[in-house]
Amino acid sequence: MQVREFMNTRIESIDADRSVYDAVEIMVDRRFRSLAVTFSGKLSKTSFDGVVTARDIVFKVLAKGVNPKKVKVSEIASRPIICISQETSIQEAATLMEKSNIARLYVCDGDKVVGMISMLDIMAAELIVRARGSHVS
């Protein structure tokens, strides 16, 4: 199965200059576990340079007792984002996540980000492959 079948196309983004508090607000309000980050002020819906995750926010800011209003997203975001093509198999995506120790990959078409695939999507896709009877045991 290719990632194009199971990726999420709903990607929320935030400007790198905004505060971590703003990021928390968006993530809690819209139930996202990560936000794509745009540096250099370009507010394109499909071109991102970094990512900030719930893990980054909790470990790097909240757990340390730092005020999230005083930290910029750019200070804790991971960059660059790791991109794969829509034709990448679920198995390859899982291997890349394991090697890079990350929980989500962005799916790109050239320079354009068209989707995102998370660990949960990988697990769901694996169950479907098994149900189709085409898994390798």
User: Which two tokens mark 27?
Assistant: 């993530």
Are residues 36 and 62 in contact, defined by beta-carbon separation less than 8 angstroms?
no
Closer by beta carbon to other proteins, 9 or else 100: 9
Residue among 82 and 128 whose Cβ is closer to other proteins = 128
Task: Name the DSSP letter for residue 68.
Answer: G
Residue 58: partners with Cβ closer than 8 Å, 6 or more residues away: none
Token pair recorded at residue 48: 């991102």
Q: Which of 43, 101, 110, 132 contacts other proteins by CB under 8 A?
A: 132
Six-digit token string for 96: 């890349």
Q: Which of 43, 133, 136, 137 binds other proteins (CB under 8 A)?
A: 133
- For the bound state, the minimum distance from the C-beta of residue 25 to other proteins, rounded and expressed in Å, comes to 18
How many positions of this chain bind other proteins (CB under 8 A)?
12
Please answer whether residues 19 and 72 qualify as being in contact, where contact means their C-beta atoms are separated by less than 8 angstroms: yes
Pick from 43, 63, 131, 136: which binds other proteins (CB under 8 A)?
Answer: 131
Does residue 109 bind other proteins (CB under 8 A)?
no
* Strand stretches in the chain, DSSP E: 13-15, 34-38, 50-53, 83-85, 104-109, 112-118
Could you say which of 9, 44, 67, 95 contacts other proteins (CB under 8 A)?
A: 9
Which positions touch other proteins (CB under 8 A)? 5-6, 8-10, 124, 127-128, 130-133
